[in-house]
Amino acid sequence: MPDQPVTNVLEALELSKEVSSPEGSLTILNDVSFTIRKGESVAVVGPSGAGKSTLLALLAGLDLPTRGHVVLNGANLSDLDEDGRARVRADSVGFVFQSFHLVPSLNALENVMLPLELAGQGDARKAARKIIDKVGLADRWSHYPAQLSGGEKQRVAIARAFATEPAVLFADEPTGNLDSRTGETIMALMFELNRSSSTTLVLVTHDNNLAERCDRILALDTGRLVRDTGAGA
């Protein structure tokens, strides 16, 4: 949307992550920098072990970088304590995971209500019902995760992620556990929600077709950013 003001919703500045291993310190992310604008859809690609999940964890403030910093929706995550980062997540982040991560003891509706309640939104139930309808599970809302198929679970997860209308949605291989047709449906759903609520989408994937459909591709290899199709754009 060209008439929209261009704002950076996510900034990574010289991010590095080192972990200690029995063989000494190991650099799993090395000096990665980029900026992502509001509404953009970005695919993070690279071979297994390249550091994609690590990058995602840093961007979402699930973990802290060894060097460099992340600015998420205007907040420098390195300046915040764990609770501060949690609040930023509650306000502006949604997640979709490869292995869904639904709370087994809660039914579909309750799972979707969870972030709404955490963010302190008023009528969580009503809002959750609405979004569940949107992902096409209107008649399954009372089912528990164990009673749902993989694709259905992922739709609940997407509903949960979009429930709070977050500024950024992170997805780590959201279709990795699904067959290609179901994966296709799920992605269509995500892109549609991305457009309709102008949510920024950061998506880790091994699927090249999927990556191509994003506005921009970030390619990682052994912890380095080796390609950025949107650089300078």
Ligand X SMILES: Nc1ncnc2c1ncn2[C@@H]1O[C@H](COP(=O)(O)OP(=O)(O)OP(=O)(O)O)[C@@H](O)[C@H]1O
Q: Give the binding site for ligand X (CB under 6 A).
A: 19, 21, 26, 28, 46, 48-54
Yes or no: say if 173 and 203 are a contact pair by the CB < 8 Å rule: no
How far apart, in whole angstroms, are the C-alpha atoms of residue 159 and residue 141? 11
Residue 51 or 174 with smaller CB distance to ligand X: 51
| Eight-state DSSP code of residue 48 | T
Does residue 222 interact with Mg ion by CB under 5 A?
A: no
Question: Which residue's CB is nearer to ligand X, number 39 or number 51?
Answer: 51
Q: How far apart are CA 127 and CA 131, in angstroms?
A: 6
48 binds, among another protein, ligand X, Mg ion, none (CB under 5 to 8 A by kind): ligand X
**Angle at the Cα of 82 (from 81 to 87), degrees rounded to 5?**
100
Residue with Cβ nearer ligand X (21 or 180): 21
Q: How far is the CB of 232 from another protein (least distance, A)?
A: 30
Provide, rounded to whole angstroms, the least separation between the CB of residue 172 and Mg ion.
6
Inter-residue contact 25 to 19 (CB < 8 Å): yes
Residue placing its CB nearer to ligand X in the complex, 49 or 136: 49
Stretch binding Mg ion (CB under 5 A), from 19-27, 29-37, 51-59, 61-69: 51-59
Amino acid identity, residue 9? V
Measured between alpha carbons, how far apart are the two ends of the chain, in Å? 15
Q: How far is the CB of 26 from ligand X (least distance, A)?
A: 6
Q: Given the complex with ligand X, which of 152 and 172 has the nearer CB atom?
A: 172
Residue (of 22, 78, 39, 23) closest to 202 by Cα position: 39
Q: Which residues bind another protein (CB under 8 A)?
A: 53, 56-57, 60, 62-63, 82-83, 86-91, 93, 95, 97, 99-107, 110, 114-115, 117-120, 145-146, 150, 153, 160, 172, 177
From CA 172, how far away is CA 201, in angstroms rounded? 11
Indicate which single residue of 8, 16, 53, 185 sits in contact with Mg ion (rule: CB under 5 A): 53
**Coil, strand, or helix at residue 103?**
coil
